Structure 1
Amino acid sequence: MNKKLNHLAQPTDVQFYSAGMRCSAYLYRPDHQAPSPIIIMAHGLGGTRKMRLTAFAERFTAEGYACLVFDYRHFGGSEGQPRQLLDIERQLEDWKAAINYARSLPNIDHSKIILWGTSFSGGHVLSTAAQDSGIRAVISQCPFTDGLASSLAMNPVTSANLTALAVRDRIGAAFGNAPIMVPLSAAPGETALMNAVDVVSGLSEITKNDPDYKNYVAARFALDIIRYYPGRQTTKIKAPVLFCVCETDTVAPAKMTLRHAKRTPHKEIKLYSYGHFEIYVGDAFEHVVKDQIDFLKRTVAV
């Protein structure tokens, strides 16, 4: 595997448009001339492509898969004002735009489009695949599947504080005011979208390669998360889906994820003892990416 990685070409910086705004992405191509399958990838809650997604893409490319790793509008290298606006519908539009762009690329097998999502985007890929019968396979890693389950996992006081900030932000937006920001991560007891015991240390590990990472988003998002249930779309997905589920997940509760996963027509479920943030690095990463490559080789061969 190391020999393969040593000979990888560097990714190309590319752009595509979503609702008239430019989304920035890395395009990885394998070292062969035949049309290749392509894996489309994006990060979770407030994340960017630099936060360890490149490590997964390098491993997939070494096995012969092209990878398109993009930033959502309002985040990272992509356009969009105001910055740090986390809008579910816009992110789903970005996934559709990324798929359309991938289908326009030369030397890509357009019948072999694969979606890869993690955490919040692990839910987005389920929703997107349910609406696009042309998707060949899906990898959904520690996925957000149920807004109510994730909200109930939060301390009631934190939830109340977030709701108050979100209402103020939504009202302010109607009058053209600048967004009220809320932290993405904080220590237990502090107000943030994620404040479980492993959040701060886990995020610090995966944001090392993104010096521009911003630990906040517009607070209005807190009003939308409880109404988002991508797991309910799993019965409509025609493609095989690999669910990588962390049994001790503090952000996306495993119990509800497994309930939705088991309703998927063509699924494989892998359970891990790792936490929500552990699977991006070290031995946990090696374990998970090996399982994902095995799934890819069996379902969408190069």
Structure 2
Amino acid sequence: MKHADVTFLSGGVECHAWHYTGEGDALATDAGRPVVVMAHGLAGTKDSGLEPFAEALAAVGLDVLAFDYRGFGSSAGEPRQTVSMAGQLEDYRAAMSAAARLPGVDPRRLVLWGVSLAGGHVLAAAAHRDDVAAVVALTPLVDGVAAGRHALAFHKPTAMLRSTVVGLQSKVGRPRMMPVVARPGELGCLTLEGSMESYLAIAGPTWRNEVDATVGLELGNHRPGKAAADVRAPLLVQIADFDRSAPPQAAAKAAFAARAEVRHYPCDHFDVYAGTAWHDAVVAHQVLFLRRVLAP
């Protein structure tokens, strides 16, 4: 499916996005089609596994705007490869405004879609909004403190301490980069057995295996799950029950607070992407949910 290149400004910086036009008018009203705003997780880029989701949603009648955060992928912005939770949320909201201006869409029926880190961003972005018609949070990371405790079950404390030290050095001195994914025992954000292979399997041409080491410090104060109760739109939370990266119990707690529809999958964090056993079920549940809550 073809997409159009779109740019929009966030914080004065040009962000790059792909616009997929929805097929047919099954979900359209006189005001236009619903439009999905789609973003990736930790250091992710739109060309790294998002396209199959975007194409599936466009095929049932939803426009989709999939974008890169500032400093990542095809978007502009300096410094590169630096995760700012506040900055990414600002980018997400700017993308919502850009999506509302797309031709043929209903600006009052935004659909927020996020995976992993963005699965938390969508909760904060949707809170207290009346122009959001639905939210999809896939394997969401909603609580940085819980994620830290969860990581202790799978990582050696010395490895986590090493990452923290490098993060502090980057924060107070010259920026230091670390790999997004690395092999067990190596320095990196995601070093669990199989994580490197899983991420590289979806990595697109603009993705880079490096991120500012301050990302761990950013995660420590990241609590978007607290906004779940303020989401007014129907919410679908898709939880990987054996998720070693985003704690499933924290996602379930946020879903309960939001009275969300919840789907569980007996898999790990990366097992929801195209080419895995659970991808088709994950997409099918998103389509069922969105068709139901967005029906004209």
User: How far, CA to CA, are the matches of 1:132 and 1:184 in structure 2?
Assistant: 33
Structure 1 residue 131, shift from structure 2 partner: 4.2
1:146-166: per-residue Cα shift (whole Å, max 9, x none)? 111111233321221111111
Structure 1 residue 32, shift from structure 2 partner: 4.0
Aligned pairs (5 A) from 1:201-212: 201-207=197-203, 210-212=204-206
Structure 1 residue 132, shift from structure 2 partner: 2.5
User: How far, CA to CA, are the matches of 1:280 and 1:131 in structure 2?
Assistant: 30
Aligned pairs (5 A) from 1:61-76: 61-76=58-73
Question: After TM superposition, what 4+ stretches of structure 1 lie above 4 angstroms from structure 2?
Answer: none
CA RMSD of aligned residues (A): 1.4
Contact 1:184–1:193 (CA under 8 A) maintained in structure 2: yes
Which of 265, 274, 296 is residue 290 of structure 2 equivalent to? 296
Match of 2:3 in 1: 11
User: How far, CA to CA, are the matches of 1:199 and 1:62 in structure 2?
Assistant: 30
User: How far, CA to CA, are the matches of 1:272 and 1:98 in structure 2?
Assistant: 29
Aligned pairs (5 A) from 1:1-302: 8=1, 10-32=2-24, 35-154=32-151, 155=155, 156-172=157-173, 177=174, 179-207=175-203, 210-265=204-259, 267-282=260-275, 283-301=277-295
Give the number of equivalent residue pairs. 286
Structure 1 residue 202, shift from structure 2 partner: 1.1
Letter in 2 for 1:168: Q
User: How far, CA to CA, are the matches of 2:10 and 2:226 in structure 1?
Assistant: 26
User: How far, CA to CA, are the matches of 1:241 and 1:57 in structure 2?
Assistant: 18
User: How far, CA to CA, are the matches of 1:30 and 1:258 in structure 2?
Assistant: 31
Contact 2:135–2:234 (CA under 8 A) maintained in structure 1: yes
Structure 1 residue 53, shift from structure 2 partner: 0.6
Letter in 2 for 1:288: V
Structure 1 residue 83, shift from structure 2 partner: 0.9
Structure 2 unaligned regions, length at least 5: none
Contact 1:133–1:237 (CA under 8 A) maintained in structure 2: no
1:183-205: per-residue Cα shift (whole Å, max 9, x none)? 11112222211112231121121
Same amino acid, percent of matched pairs:
35
User: How far, CA to CA, are the matches of 1:214 and 1:131 in structure 2?
Assistant: 35
